[in-house]
Each structure stands twice: as C-alpha cells, then as structure tokens.
Amino acid sequence: MNTTAPAPAPVKARPGVRPGTRPGVRSDIRPARTPAVEVRGLTKTFGPITAVDRLDLTVAPGEVVAFLGPNGAGKSTTLDVLLGFTRPDSGTAAVLGVEPREAVRAGRVGAVLQTGGILPSYTVRQTLDIIASLQLRAPDVEAIIDQTDLRGILRRRVARCSGGEVQRIRLAMALMAQPELLILDEPTTGLDPNARAAFWATMRAQTAAGRSILFATHYLQEAADFADRIVIIDRGRLVASGSVDEVRAMGEGTTVSATWPGLTGQAQLRAALAPASGSLLAVEVHGEHLEVRTTAPDDVARLLLTTTPAAHLGITALSLEEIFAELVGEEHDGAAAPARAA
C-alpha cells in the first residue's frame, strides 16, 4: 500500500507579486510620483526651547540628501517627526505623499537609528528572521544578508558584534520592509574609518536600487562623497542647501599662503598688499608663515611674488569644514542669517 502523500500543487504567483509576498502588495520599490520628503514651516518646541524653527526641507524621489548641523541643531528632532515618533507644533511634514506614521506603518520607510531595536542575546540570524516575520511583504532575507555582508556572522550573538557589524545589522533590519525611503541618524558615529567605508559601500548599492536616502551626519567628507545634495541647519533653521559644489561656492574667498623670511607682522604684510586691500577678507601671520583669505587670489599671489621675498606660495580653496563653520557661525553672530540655496 502506497502511503506517500501527494505532492502539493505548485503555488502560482499573481502578476506583479513575488512568491511569498502577501497578495495585493508589490514587492519591488514603487516609483515615487511625489517627493520622498516634503516639510514646510516645520516647528517643534520643548518647553522654552525651539528645536526646529519653520524648517523647509524636500527630498526628491531617488535623491540622497545629507542633513548637517552642529549638536543641538534640530537634526534628530526633524528625523523623529519624519518617522512619526513625534508631531510638529506647526507646519506640515509628508513622507512619500502621506502622513509620516502612515508611511512607516505601510513599510515604505526604513530607519537606521543610533540606539535601540536589537536584543543583544539573540544571534544575528535570529534577529533578522524575527524582523522578517513582522513585515507586510515577505522580504528576500538571503539577498539582504548578502547585501549587508552579514553571512559570516549569522551565528554570532549581537552582543559580540563590533560597532560596524551592529550598524550593518540595523541596515539589514531596515531593508526588510523593502522601503522606498531610508532615514539614517548618524549611522557611522563611533565607527573606525574602515567600518565607515564598508557601511557606505553597502549604502551605494541601495541608491543604485532607486531608494531615496536622508542621512544626518557630522562627517562632512561623508556628505561630500555620498550625497547628491547637502542641507545645513542650525538652531532649527535652514542655513544652506545645494550640491557639494554649490555649497563650496557659498564660502567666500580663497586662501593664499606663503613663507616670508623676516616678516615682522600683519602691518608689514598689509602694506605690501595695499593695491589689493579691497579683496582681503582675513590676514594671519604666524612667525614667517602668512595666510591671506581673499576674493582676488591671483592679485595677492602676484604681489607677494613680485614685491616681497615671499616663497613657497600656495593657493587653496576653502574646505567644506571651513565653509560649514562659516555658515553656522553666521547664525551665532547675532540675528539668524537668511538661508542660502543654490
């Protein structure tokens, strides 16, 4: 007597639905027709402190935006609003065209936050399987493991993982929902340079898949290397917005440096540069070394080389760090400066 049970009939996937995905929900990244993020006049206060002050912010579909500002500038509060953790006091915030909480509940937003969300006693595999089981759309767990380079540590307990490995776990968890938008809050804080490079290498694959990304960071080089656009805020207000080149252009002047044997001080240097005095923004003398910030670097360089004994001359554009300090400094010098946009 044959007791073998008949093989189950193959399951036919509905058009547009990956096998294992709940019916009626597409498993790919849906092309967005509206901005990934649209914030208008956003204000959030905590008692007497205004954390976010009439902020406007837009992230276009498929765009990667770096969100910069000093500590206490309002970056994390803004991200909390976009993730539905808190509501603004005034203004509006839309994520993928809907209320933030609605977008998060629908699995359209993934987040990599600085703390929380991981049980240290679980293995990496257990952690990922639990998160996968909670999703509206069944994710391709194995593909996500490969994307985030976690296959070699799946049996390791989370408590024994390095900082870089934990951040890759957080990213894998965020990808389980197959989100259209990723929000990252200081994702590489505390990581060594190699771990930071590995994290961003993983993130580049996500941008290639068409995801929009908004990430808060205090590493300016990360912003320059990875973002399509940089947004700088301070005291909750927009200070500047533009591409890396456009933000660089917001810095006023170029630095001319040289060595002048026997230089006695700023008075002697300024006298030599008198024909170009109208272009001088700052003059510094450190012994025989001089630095002149100017809007006419060629004129200053010519004067130094033809009328003084200066040598070892160099001309350098302002670094992003210098421009950032200048833009934020304007906010702290008194009344808030108007936002600069390219």
- What is the CATH number for 239? 3.40.50.300
Q: Is residue 326 included in any domain, yes or no?
A: no
Helix residue spans in 216-332 (DSSP H): 220-226, 244-249, 266-272, 297-307, 320-332
CA distances from 314 to 44, 78, 252, 256 (A): 46, 41, 18, 6
268 in the same domain as 214: no
> Which has the closest alpha carbon to 283: 292, 271, 295?
292
Q: Outline where DSSP puts E strands in the chain.
A: 37-46, 49-59, 64-68, 90-95, 109-112, 181-185, 212-216, 229-234, 237-242, 254-259, 280-286, 289-294, 311-317, 340-341
204 in the same domain as 95: yes
Q: What contacts 149, CB < 8 A, 6 or more positions away?
A: 168, 198, 202
Q: Which of 95-109, 213-227, 266-280 has the least mean pLDDT?
A: 213-227
Q: Is residue 273 included in any domain, yes or no?
A: yes
Q: What tens digit of pLDDT does each residue of 121-160 get?
A: 999 999 999 999 999 889 999 999 998 889 999 999 999 9
CATH of the domain at 277: 3.30.70.980
Q: Is residue 233 included in any domain, yes or no?
A: yes
Cα distance from N-terminal residue to C-terminal residue, the chain: 80
17 compared with 218, residue with greater pLDDT: 218
pLDDT of 173 > 90? The answer is yes
285 in the same domain as 237: no
> Which has the closest alpha carbon to 336: 53, 67, 3?
53
pLDDT of 32 > 80? The answer is no
Q: Is residue 173 included in any domain, yes or no?
A: no
306 in the same domain as 212: no
301 in the same domain as 183: no
Residue 56's domain spans which residues?
37-108+179-248
239 in the same domain as 271: no
Count of structural domains, the chain: 2
pTM of the model: 0.74
309 in the same domain as 185: no
pLDDT of 337 > 90? The answer is no
